[in-house]
């Protein structure tokens, strides 16, 4: 007895063979530079309203430290260290402290999932946010530097060096702040680490190094902002050794590349969880 296929029986509908569908092509991932610019602009516009009051706090804090130290330090190399350290403290407050808090809250509230769905490289997210926060330090740093120079009678001739110190020291501190915020298991811990980092920049960066014990000087050398402070403080003397200034800036640049690389790795690690 033979079996007749159903498609040849009278009144039966012809069988429809389904063709395999081609998989839909995903849109290509955006390139690093356009993605970085887009994230930078978005973060800049988002943080403008919320962070400007905190920028005033950072500036007033540094100006207050200058006024307080004026009663302790008369001039010379100690005054140079105080002015340079107070100026870079604004960078540490915003780029390190606030960025650690931001990424800590972003990770805790699931905000990283939003960025993970976008076709942008992880480095663009980290660099864009770090650049936006570092940009807010420029006005406060310049105001603090000018006020400190006038208060201690230091020359304003080489104030232009801040054009190099702010982005390089800001990159090093912003990368460190982003890494702390992304690696901290809880946002409270990220806030604590950011506050500790800013306190270290305050104590080790503003106080004259010659009055510190050797152990504290060693800890000072491990802090990225120290080299930004040193680069700026060296320019006050009449015979500036620009080789040392460039060396300090190079250290800031190397630390910035490493810290931003660690922050990018931490972002990938936190986004996949």
User: Domain residues of the chain, as ranges?
Assistant: 31-271
Nearest CA-CA partner of 144 in 133, 154, 129, 132:
154
**Mean pLDDT calculated for residue range 221-249:** 91
- pTM beyond 0.95: the answer is no
Grade residue 22 by pLDDT with cuts at 50, 70 and 90. very low
> d(Cα 95, Cα 114) in Å, to the nearest integer?
22
Q: Please, where are the H alpha helices in the chain?
A: 32-70, 76-91, 99-108, 111-116, 122-135, 137-152, 162-183, 187-206, 214-222, 224-233, 242-271
Nearest CA-CA partner of 145 in 232, 51, 228, 210:
232
For 57, other C-beta atoms within 10 Å of its C-beta total 13
- Residue 64 CA to residue 196 CA, distance in Å, equals 20
CA distance 73 to 127: 38
Which pLDDT band holds residue 23 (cuts at 50, 70, 90)?
very low
Residue 90 has pLDDT above 60, yes or no: yes
Q: Is the pLDDT of residue 8 over 70?
A: no
Q: How far is CA 114 from CA 107, 120, 180, 235, 242, in A?
A: 11, 11, 20, 45, 45
């Amino acid at each position: 007895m033979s079996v007749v296929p159903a498609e040849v029986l009278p009144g039966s509908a012809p069988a429809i063979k389904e063709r395999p569908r081609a998989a839909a092509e995903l849109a290509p991932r955006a390139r690093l530079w356009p993605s970085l610019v887009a994230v930078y602009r978005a973060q800049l516009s988002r943080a403008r309203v919320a962070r400007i009051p905190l920028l005033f706090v950072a500036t007033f804090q540094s100006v207050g430290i200058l006024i307080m130290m004026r009663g302790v330090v008369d001039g010379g190399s100690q005054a140079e260290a105080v002015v340079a350290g107070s100026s870079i403290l604004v960078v540490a407050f915003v780029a390190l402290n606030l960025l650690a808090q931001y990424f800590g809250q972003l990770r805790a509230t699931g905000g990283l999932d939003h960025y993970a769905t976008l076709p942008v490289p992880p480095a663009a997210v980290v660099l864009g946010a770090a650049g936006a926060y570092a940009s807010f330090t420029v006005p406060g740093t310049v105001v603090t530097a000018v006020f400190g120079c006038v208060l201690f009678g230091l020359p304003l001739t080489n104030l232009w060096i801040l054009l190099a110190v702010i982005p390089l020291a800001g990159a090093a501190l912003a990368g460190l702040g982003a890494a702390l915020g992304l690696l901290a298991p809880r946002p409270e811990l990220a806030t604590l680490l950011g506050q500790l980092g800013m306190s270290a920049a305050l104590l080790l960066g503003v106080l004259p190094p010659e009055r510190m014990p050797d152990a504290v000087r060693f800890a000072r050398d491990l802090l990225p902002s120290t080299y930004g402070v040193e680069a700026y403080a060296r320019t006050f003397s009449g015979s500036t050794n620009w080789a040392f200034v460039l060396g300090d800036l190079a250290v800031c640049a190397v630390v910035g590349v490493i810290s931003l690389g660690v922050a990018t790795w931490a972002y990938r690690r936190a986004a996949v969880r």
